[in-house]
Amino acid sequence: MEADYYILEKCRLCNSTNLEVVLSLQSSPISDEYLVRRREQPIYPLNLLLCKGCGFVQIDCVINPNVIYKDYIFVTTSSLPLRSHFNDYATDIIEKANLDSAMLAIDIGSNEGTLLKEFKSAGLRILGIEPSSEIAALANKNGIDTICDYFNPFLAGSIVSTNGQADVVTINNVFANIDNLREFMNGLSVLVKEGGYVIIESSYLVDMLDNMIFDFIYHEHLSYLSIKPLEKLFVEYGFSLVDVVHVDTKGGSLRYYFQKIADSENRNVNIEPWRRYEEQKCIYSAKTYQAYEARIQVEKEKSHQELNKYAEGSVVGYGASATTTTLLYHFQLGQKIAYLVDDNPAKVGTFSPGYHLPIYGPERLYQEPPDAIFIFAWRYAATIIENHPEFTGRFVIPLPALTVL
């Protein structure tokens, strides 16, 4: 029987054993494992490690991906901001990579194909790679050619033999979820043609630290990306970093443009300032994370002080996502929240991971009005409050600093 998880002993980027725990969070269940029926769920360690060899940041507990993704239900069309984002994203890629209708665009971790739809509309040949069987089936049903599998060198070779090498490969909020990075890079080397592009978009480590987005740390996200270690890895496989673009998604992300080319003449002049910026932010120093942990503890205590003002059962949570699980567990709020509400119909009628809080639609807020709403989806607090002008109780926004409205 395949093990559910293992504890990382070597850096997945450089194989160094010189790993230091720089942030310890409360152990938690799989963050997005919302249940249709309550059942016991395992709790896994959740600690952030800093590699002293290359500066790569990663978590210690690696859960078998078949355990995480077997019932995965998130689709990008459930997020209106993401749909708009991918429209702009596709336009940017087509322009910067000089893509035309004769070229092949492949999206790894393609979900139901939101980005690929934009490429298809522009006349490109497209192919998705998505491990979730239900989501891959939905993509194919909607006319987005999708392979249901995990990406690896064998699959890359099969794709090339059938479709030829890719002109551009996009990897959006997926690269950070990959355990065996070197196997993955071997696959990219096979898949991408000379002069072709690999474009990664992922939450940026500096923004995670600056903006108090610690709830973005959960077991699905194995790695926390920054320029220096990522560029080092890609150079080893014949790719040059030619551009970096900062975007607002996930509380602050970077879009990395890697080109399969030996020289770096095409490199954008804005990359060097980003390298200096990372050094100035001291993201490769353990002291930075110690200060971060202290800031998190302050906000945890402030949340408890606020919620202790309300009667038992009179506080509910808004937001039922993966980040909710990290925040709920690390702040130890399971006994203080009566239930959760969420705008995503796929989450309504389910129970939260571990604590098994019931999930309702927003209409529940007006059937039995609570005294306060604790906004777990705090990055969207302004929109949530704007959408509920009739609510007469208090809104509690826990991060980046506790605010009560």
* pLDDT, tens only, 191-248: 999 999 999 999 999 999 999 999 999 999 999 999 999 999 999 999 999 999 999 8
What is the C-alpha separation between 339 and 255, in angstroms, rounded?
Answer: 36
**CATH number where 206 lies:** 3.40.50.150
Q: What is the pLDDT of residue 78?
A: 45
Looking at the fold, whether 43 and 135 belong to one and the same domain comes out as: no
Claim to verify: residue 338 and residue 296 sit in the same structural domain:
yes
Other CB atoms within 10 A of residue 128 CB: 25
Indicate whether 297 belongs to any domain: yes
Do residue 350 and residue 255 come from a single domain?
Answer: no
The H-or-E segment that residue 27 falls in is strand 19-28
- Which residue range forms the structural domain that includes residue 330? 287-404
The total domain count for the chain is 3
**243 and 189 share one domain:** yes
* 318 and 179 co-located in one domain: no
Biggest CA–CA distance in the chain, Å, is: 64
Q: Look at strands 192-203 and 166-172 and give their pairing.
A: parallel
- 85 and 62 inside one domain: no
pLDDT at 255: 95
Q: What local confidence, expressed as pLDDT, does residue 364 receive?
A: 96
The verdict on 342 and 377 lying in the same domain is yes
Whether 56 and 95 map to the same domain: the answer is: no
| 274 belongs to a structural domain | no
Domain shared by 255 and 305, yes or no:
no
In a shared domain, residues 256 and 123: yes
Residue 44 falls inside a structural domain = yes
Verify cis geometry, omega within 30 degrees of 0, for the bond prior to 400.
yes
| pLDDT less than 70: residues of the chain | 1-3, 70-84, 262-269
In the structure encoding, which two tokens stand for residue 190, read together? Answer: 């096979």
Rounded Cα–Cα distance for residues 223 and 221 (Å): 6
User: Which residue, 66, 91, 113, sits at the end of a domain?
Assistant: 66
Model's pTM, two decimal places?
0.92
Alpha carbon 59 to chain centroid distance? Answer: 13
Residue 281 lies in a domain: no
CB distance 116 to 126 below 8 Å = yes
- Considering the domain boundaries, does residue 279 fall inside one? no
Q: Which helix (H) or strand (E) holds 193?
A: strand 192-203
Whether residues 235 and 293 share a domain: the answer is no
- In a shared domain, residues 87 and 43: no
